[in-house]
């Protein structure tokens, strides 16, 4: 029987801070397939995440289908805005959520994994990072700082992770990132330069597939996922409405509803469906796939005309 088997493999997933997003769903899918999982968590969310785990508040979410429980082998502090610790300003390093964590940069995460797990310690790296400080603003209202901030954290961080984690990944490893169709189409309300960041992320996927493939033998792919009403997505802005009009649903809920009714498969996307594709792409079954952007969105990307609004 053909099955996804990741027994003996170790994954590092950057961008897991709760049980509601794609990063957590990918962690579960990889664990279901037998992989051990380490995660990188944004320092301001790290304490809450660890407390929820320690107090058993996520027990239901951690349960695997065979009765096992998802256990994180390592939880590493990671702020992907900084390649090295020296780039973090003093007010960040001295902040109470950061100051006792040691090196929380991308290089710091790589150094910690190497020191604790060994030189060639990874097989799978997942980039589940996206942040735009001005995501609620239209592009015309976005500042240079906000735009570059979105691109830096949401796209360049994949390059920085490949640079620093590539040498830790055993030959034949898999890198994976998460995109959204705003890289290809206009989604009013998805602002702050985030659409540009996703376009850069997809372009970098192709270039990194060439470079990392020739340098280390690693594969690099990207999943363009449909909308999901995760906690992180709640930061996305709303489409402006006329004065006096009823207050609209949160923008992410509008996106979910619109995609659901206009897709070839008219049901809402589940995070676990993205997790399953991620596990496949990380496995030997996908050894011939690299440099690809795979749409996991119930077919919405194929539509050229709305069925209903």
Return the exposure string of 185-224: e unless at least 16 CB atoms fall within 10 Å of the residue's CB, then b: eebebbbbbbbbbbbbbbebbbebbebbeeebebbbbbbb
Q: What is the average pLDDT across 240-269?
A: 81
- Interval 49-64: pLDDT, tens: 999 999 999 999 999 9
CA distance 274 to 64: 16
| Residue 212 clears pLDDT 70, i.e. is over it | yes
Cα–Cα distance measured from residue 167 to residue 173, given in angstroms and rounded to the nearest whole number: 10
How far apart CA 118 and CA 48 sit, in angstroms, is: 28
- Provide the whole-model pTM: 0.93
Hey, what are 114's tokens? 């190497």
**Count of beta carbons in the 10 Å neighbourhood of residue 68:** 11
Which helix (H) or strand (E) element contains residue 74? Answer: strand 72-77
Per DSSP, 152 falls in state I
Output 222 or 253, whichever has higher pLDDT: 222
What are residue 125's DSSP bridge partners? Answer: 12, 175
Q: Is the dihedral of CA 274, 292, 158, 36 positive or negative?
A: positive
Q: Which of 225, 171, 222, 218 is nearest to 200 (CA)?
A: 222
Whether the predicted pLDDT of 241 surpasses 60: no
The helix/strand/coil state of 123 is strand
Binned at pLDDT 50, 70 and 90, residue 158 comes out as very high
Between 224 and 188, the higher pLDDT residue:
224
pLDDT score of 243: 57
Averaged pLDDT score across all residues of the chain: 94
- Helix (H) / strand (E) element for 35: namely none
Active site residue ranges:
180, 190
Whose tokens are 């119930």? That residue is 298
Q: How many helices (H) and strands (E) are present in the chain, helices listed first? A: 10, 7
Q: Which pLDDT belongs to residue 306? A: 86
Q: What residue has token string 């207050």?
A: 247
Using 50, 70 and 90 to split pLDDT, how confident is the model at 236? low
Name residue 40's beta-bridge partners: 14, 76
pLDDT one-digit tens code per residue, 101-131: 999 999 999 999 999 999 999 999 999 999 9
Cα 141 from chain centroid (whole Å): 26
Q: What would you report as the CA-atom Rg of the chain, rounded to the nearest whole angstrom?
A: 19
Confidence band of 309 (pLDDT split at 50, 70, 90)? low
Confidence of residue 250 (pLDDT cuts 50, 70, 90): confident
257-277 tens-digit pLDDT: 999 999 999 999 999 999 999
């Amino acid at each position: 029987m053909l099955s996804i088997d990741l027994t003996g493999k170790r994954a590092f997933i950057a961008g897991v801070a709760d049980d509601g997003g794609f990063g957590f769903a990918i962690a579960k899918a990889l664990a279901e397939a037998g992989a051990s999982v380490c995660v990188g968590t944004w320092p301001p969310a790290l304490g809450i995440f660890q407390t929820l785990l320690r107090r058993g508040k996520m027990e239901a979410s951690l349960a695997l289908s065979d009765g096992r429980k998802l256990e994180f082998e390592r939880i590493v502090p990671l702020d992907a805005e900084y390649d090295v610790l020296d780039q973090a300003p003093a007010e960040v390093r001295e902040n109470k959520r950061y100051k006792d964590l040691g090196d929380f940069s991308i290089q710091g995460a790589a150094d910690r994994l190497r020191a604790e797990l060994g030189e060639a310690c990874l097989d799978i790296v997942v980039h589940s990072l996206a942040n735009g400080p001005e995501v609620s603003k239209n592009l015309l209202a976005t500042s240079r700082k906000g735009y570059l901030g979105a691109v830096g954290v949401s796209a360049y961080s994949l390059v920085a992770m490949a640079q620093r984690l590539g040498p830790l990944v055993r030959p034949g490893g898999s890198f994976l990132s998460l995109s959204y169709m705003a890289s290809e189409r206009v989604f009013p309300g998805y602002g702050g330069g985030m659409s540009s960041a996703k376009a850069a992320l997809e372009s970098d996927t192709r270039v990194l597939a060439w470079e990392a493939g020739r340098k280390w033998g690693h594969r690099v792919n990207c999943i363009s996922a449909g909308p999901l009403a995760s906690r992180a997505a709640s930061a996305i802005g709303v489409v402006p409405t006329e004065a006096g009009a009823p207050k609209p649903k949160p923008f992410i809920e509008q996106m979910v509803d619109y995609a659901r009714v206009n897709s070839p498969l008219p049901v809402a996307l589940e995070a676990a469906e993205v997790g399953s594709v991620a596990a496949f792409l990380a496995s030997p079954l996908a050894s011939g796939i690299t440099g690809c952007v795979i749409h996991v969105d119930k077919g919405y990307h194929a539509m050229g005309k709305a069925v209903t609004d």
